[in-house]
Amino acid sequence: MQEKFCESCGAPMGELDEMYGPGTESDGSSSADYCKQCYVDGAFTNPDITLEEQIESIVAVMVKDFGFSPEDAKEQCNAGIPTLKRWRTA
């Protein structure tokens, strides 16, 4: 089974993932597209964040929590985040 990734931040959205599991729609059902860090009760948790701010935020997490170099994290984010559903029209 292919792993689902958040269409806002790119995090894996496994059903059992305590940190990045699926967000929720306004009716309480699981979001098919967004993780719970990005989307709760049918709305983005940070609706005014820009693409550039989102990338900066994710780079910081990748460096701090996952040991990426700042350069590698930024390269991966710049290549992937703009292709996600939330950002394609931004």
Q: Can you spell out the DSSP letters for the chain? A: -PPPB-TTT--B--TT-TTT-EEE-TTSPEEEEEETTTEETTEESSTT--HHHHHHHHHHHHHHHH---HHHHHHHHHHHGGGSTTTTT-
β strands within the chain, DSSP E? 22-24, 30-35, 39-40, 43-44
For position 17, what pLDDT does the model report? 65
- Asked if residues 16 and 4 have their Cβ atoms less than 8 Å apart, the reply is no
Predicted confidence (pLDDT) per residue in 22-31, tens digit: 999 999 999 9
Predicted confidence (pLDDT) per residue in 34-59, tens digit: 999 999 999 999 999 999 999 999 99
Q: What is the pTM of this model?
A: 0.87
Residue 23's Cβ-side half-sphere holds a number of Cα atoms within 13 Å equal to 23
For position 5, what pLDDT does the model report? 93
For position 19, what pLDDT does the model report? 74
Residue 1 reports pLDDT greater than 70: no
